[in-house]
Amino acid sequence: MIVAGNWKMYRGPELDGLRGLDAIVCPPYTRLRECVDAGLTTYAQNVHWEAEGAYTGEISAPMLLELGVAGSLVGHSERRQYFGETDETVAKRTRAALDAGLKVIACVGETLAEREGGETEDVLRRQLSVLEPHPSLVLAYEPVWAIGTGKTATAAQAQEVHAAIRAVLRELGGSAGAELRIQYGGSVKPENAAELMAQPDVDGALVGGASLDPDGFAAIGAAAVAQRP
């Protein structure tokens, strides 16, 4: 089970409440060092594909590694929706980060219009087709309609799509693809975390809003441990 907390562009909690936490934190860049120094497994929220260059506002894998950062999110739907992230840039960021020695959580998921138009599997197939299996790559299935909306996918909906993702991965990448771990994300809370993570193809959670509350986040981490230590 892999649980990660995405603090987005929020400062995030004081770290005292997170001591001993068995989960990944993805703070804003300004708190990366503080989280690393506190002994937390720390990921960035994004990473560029070049090691350095004239790319204002971006950060590179070597820069993150120098800070002691262990990995990065890539392709979060908010990057895709608001900042022009495409499947191609997601692929470039993912490949460069993995090559540099970072772990990556790559996010995929359909919008409400895509789901209602029956396009969920096609969208996922397109998003997954640019990602090559790698031992340090984890996927996060985050239906866009469930992010920050309070509308969680039901455990059955999550399981159905996770199983479909695994089938697509097997088709695209053989057994290496089928072995990738897949987190669910989208309004995961202490109240629904256990049921979601009890699904056979759900290997953890990517938690946004609820990860800002240390007690709630710790409860989700505990639910993961209880499920599959």
Write out the binding residues for ligand PGA, residues 170-199 only, by CB under 6 A.
185-188
- What CA–CA distance (Å, rounded) separates 93 from 151? 29
Of the candidate residues 1, 2, 3, 6, the single one contacting ligand PGA (CB under 6 A)? 6
Q: Does 25 bind ligand PGA (CB under 6 A)?
A: no
Residues in CB range of 142: below 8 A, 6 or more apart? 76, 77, 107, 108, 109, 184, 185, 186, 206
185 φ/ψ angles, rounded to the nearest 5 degrees: -140, 150
Q: What is the CA radius of gyration of the chain?
A: 16
Q: Does 139 bind ligand PGA (CB under 6 A)?
A: no
Q: What is the DSSP letter of 26?
A: E
Least CB distance from residue 107 to ligand PGA, whole Å? 7
Catalytic residue among 76, 78, 110, 134: 76
Half-sphere exposure of 209 (CA within 13 A, CB side): 12
- Active site includes 76? yes
Least CB distance from residue 147 to ligand PGA, whole Å? 4
Nearest partner of 79 among 69, 89, 64, judged by Cα: 89
Judged by CB under 6 A, the stretch of 28-36, 42-50, 111-119, 207-215 that binds ligand PGA is 207-215
Q: Does 148 bind ligand PGA (CB under 6 A)?
A: yes
Nearest partner of 98 among 205, 29, 180, judged by Cα: 180
Least CB distance from residue 129 to ligand PGA, whole Å? 22
120 with 113: CB under 8 angstroms?
no
Of the candidate residues 130, 169, 207, 218, the single one contacting ligand PGA (CB under 6 A)? 207
- Active site includes 142? yes
The footprint of ligand PGA (CB under 6 A) covers 6, 142, 147-148, 185-188, 206-210
List active site positions: 76, 142
